Amino acid sequence: MIRPQLAIAGLTACFGCQLTLLNCEAELPDIADRFNFTYFPMGMSSPDITADFDAALVEGAVSTPCDLETLVTLRNRSRLLIAIGTCAIFGGVAAMCNEEPRSRLLRTVYGPAADGLASFNPAPLERFVTVDFAVTGCPPERGELLATLAALLRGTFPALPAYPVCLECRSRENACLLIERNEPCLGPVTRAGCNARCPAMAVHCEGCRGPVAEANVAAELELLIAKGVSREELVRRLRRFCPEWDYEQRA
């Protein structure tokens, strides 16, 4: 069997999505047997971005000319481009302050050295190139990354959850933090796949997997505002992982 050529890259991000894959220690020997990792700067010493790839898995938002150059190169050289993680799909934490002037943010972090930096508002991959598939999460679930790699071997993509965290929460018979405990949980509007890990530990959902496709965001805001949470606080929380929610969306 011809082993697929893979590229795995990180743009503006914490590199936690790639680390999740490297933490699949029991599965790594099988993965190495079935794929050629041709470009993987975090996991190899001599990455080659000039190769042709069957698939490129890209983490992080695009916020610098270097990011954009890497992304466009991988898109041009890859049959499939897969966004991994909330930053790559929605902008994520890197983009949470996009409403602030970029120059001010840079100067706050880097001081006088900011004047020589080329940077723009972080944006998701699809703003610049075509994305063929996405694996969300901050970081993604290891099982979803492994399922994606397994599906690639069969020339397809896996069926990942397209429903809200609430469904997983109820299937685990958790107490509803939003209704029963009156806490500001974002489970009704957040994409599932985490097995309701946080609510199962009595921690309300923060929306790290991004919006579910048919989220009733307007109703969620109305409910939480009625519970005494300010709209400003809700918008701040929602923007943490996805800066561009449609606050008027109704399912």
62 and 131 together in one domain:
yes
Q: What is the pLDDT of residue 219?
A: 93
User: Based on the domain organization, do 170 and 68 belong to the same domain?
Assistant: no
- The total of structural domains in the chain comes to 2
* Same domain, residue pair 149 and 173: no
176/59 same-domain check:
no
Same domain assignment for residues 144 and 190:
no
Report the alpha-carbon distance of residue 55 to residue 111 in Å, rounded. 39
Q: Is the pLDDT of residue 1 over 70?
A: no
pLDDT digits (tens, 9 = 90+) for 87-146: 999 999 999 999 999 999 999 999 998 888 899 999 999 999 999 999 999 999 999 999
- Distance CA(162)–CA(2), nearest Å, equals 32
> Is residue 212 within 8 Å of 192, Cβ to Cβ?
yes
* Domain end call among 153, 183, 203: 153
Same domain, 36 and 148: yes
Residues 6+ away with beta carbon under 8 Å from 209:
86, 136, 137, 138, 165, 190, 191, 192, 193, 194, 241
Position 34 confidence tier, pLDDT thresholds 50, 70, 90: very high
* pLDDT score, position 223: 92
Residues 134 and 202 in one domain: no
CA distances, 237 to each of 37, 178, 185, 225 (Å): 37, 15, 10, 13
Residue 160 lies in a domain: no
Give CA–CA dist 152/80, Å, rounded: 10
Note the pLDDT of residue 2: 83
- What pLDDT sits at residue 214? 87
Percent of the chain with pLDDT over 70: 99
Domain CATH for 114: 3.40.50.700
Domain span at residue 48? 5-153
Q: Are residues 137 and 192 in the same domain?
A: no
User: Which of 153, 184, 204 is at the close of a domain?
Assistant: 153
DSSP the chain: -PPPEEEEEE-BS-SHHHHHHHT-TTTHHHHHHH-EEEE-TTT-SS--TTS-EEEEEEESBB-SHHHHHHHHHHHHHEEEEEEESHHHHH-TGGGTTTTS-HHHHHHHHHGGGGGG------B-GGGTS---EEE-BTTB-HHHHHHHHHHHHTTS------SBHHHHHHHTT---TTTTS-----GGGBB--STTHHHHTT-----TT-B-TT--HHHHHHHHHHTT--HHHHHHHHHTT-TT--TT---
Residues of the chain with pLDDT > 90: what percent? Answer: 88
Task: Please enumerate in sequence order all residues whose Cβ is within 8 A of that of 154, keeping only pairs 6 or more positions apart, or say none.
Answer: none
Amino acid at 46: S
Question: Average pLDDT of the chain?
Answer: 94
User: Given this model, what pLDDT does residue 186 score?
Assistant: 96
Rounded to an integer, the average pLDDT of 80-86 is: 98
